[in-house]
Amino acid sequence: MAVTRPSGHEGAGRAASDGGARPAGPAGRGGLPGPSDRGGRAARHGRDVPFRLDARLTRSYRLVRACIRTAIRIWFRPRVVGRANVPAEGPVLLAPVHRSFADFVFPLLLTDRKLFYMGKDTLWRSRTFGRLLSLLGAFPVHRQAADREALARAEEVLRQGQVLVLFPEGTREEGAVVGHLHEGAAFLAARTAAPIVPVGIGGSDRAMPPGRLVARPLRVTVVAGPALPAPTLPEGARRVPLGQVRRATEELRLAIQAVYDEARR
């Protein structure tokens, strides 16, 4: 499998995490850009890509997912641990460690449910790649600021009982230590009562380090840890207490560290 790296990608999910403990604002117009998008808006870095939440496992989605899974299994010979830790129904946040551009494909091995992703808006500069991302359930997020529209879209995905993949480090990091996490995952979990599943991905940094355009055929291990319960929103509260979000974020950091350590063995 030749995983190639489009220009400008540095991971997904920073804007959601930059939301802090503030409300996500009014719900966005649900959905994903589809084949009707002609690419002009995508060329403007995804800022005007329409969003229509489509939770159907369409034939196109299943076909593309099957092709990617097959390629992953041939190229990376992955070892997958903890698949049963991903809930079979209801809202859930998958929170992977982020060490390689290739990381975004590995959550597809953890569940047969449809996944939704937050992706850096500049990935939509390419009309073809933008359509592929949209088909896979991705929507753009503007990482240079707290993108409230992206937050609203992410919250809508979870309120509709779907699976959201969010990289809480916000960008690709290096090394064996999971450091600072943005607070968006804990914030969204508290707003939607979605559990968070920490995901460790070991070996992707060697297979496709920063600057490499084609992944090496090296074994990758994917570990899903036990789901962390969502922080409880106090009765009648309209905002998630900041202290609670910070405690949940630190708990998530320790959980991601544990599964990352396991995946690297």
Provide the pLDDT for residue 12. 39
Average pLDDT, the chain: 83
- Would 5 be classed as within a structural domain? no
- Would 9 be classed as within a structural domain? no
Banded model confidence at residue 47, pLDDT cuts 50, 70, 90: low
Provide the pLDDT for residue 29. 33
SS (H, E, C) the chain: CCCECCCCCCCCCHHHHCCCCCCCCCCCCCCCCCCCCCCHHHHCCCCCCCCCCCCCCCHHHHHHHHHHHHHHHHHHCCEEECHHHCCCCCCEEEEECCCCHHHHHHHHHCCCCCEEEEEEHHHHHCHHHHHHHHHCCEEEECCCCCCHHHHHHHHHHHHCCCEEECCCCCCCCCCCCCCCCCCHHHHHHHHHCCCEEEEEEECHHHHCCCCCCECCCCCCEEEECCCECCCCCCCCCCCCCHHHHHHHHHHHHHHHHHHHHHHHC
User: Of the spans 7-11, 51-55, 86-90, 122-126, which averages the highest pLDDT?
Assistant: 86-90
Q: The domain containing residue 76 runs over which residues?
A: 14-264
Question: At residue 101, does pLDDT exceed 80?
Answer: yes
Provide the pLDDT for residue 253. 98
Determine the Cα–Cα distance for residues 124 and 140; give it in Å rounded to an integer: 8
What percent of the chain is modeled with pLDDT above 90? 61
- Would 4 be classed as within a structural domain? no
- Select the more confidently predicted residue: 45 or 190: 190
Provide the pLDDT for residue 201. 98
Question: At residue 246, does pLDDT exceed 60?
Answer: yes
Provide the pLDDT for residue 45. 52
- Would 94 be classed as within a structural domain? yes
Question: At residue 22, does pLDDT exceed 60?
Answer: no
Question: At residue 18, does pLDDT exceed 80?
Answer: no
- Would 8 be classed as within a structural domain? no
- Would 3 be classed as within a structural domain? no
Provide the pLDDT for residue 48. 62
- Would 208 be classed as within a structural domain? yes
Question: At residue 88, does pLDDT exceed 60?
Answer: yes
Banded model confidence at residue 143, pLDDT cuts 50, 70, 90: low
Q: Give, in order, the Cα–Cα distances in Å from 41 to each of 12, 50, 219.
A: 20, 9, 38
- Would 68 be classed as within a structural domain? yes
Note the pLDDT tens digit of each residue in 27-36: 333 333 333 3
CATH of the domain at 22: 3.40.1130
User: What is the number of domains present in the chain?
Assistant: 1
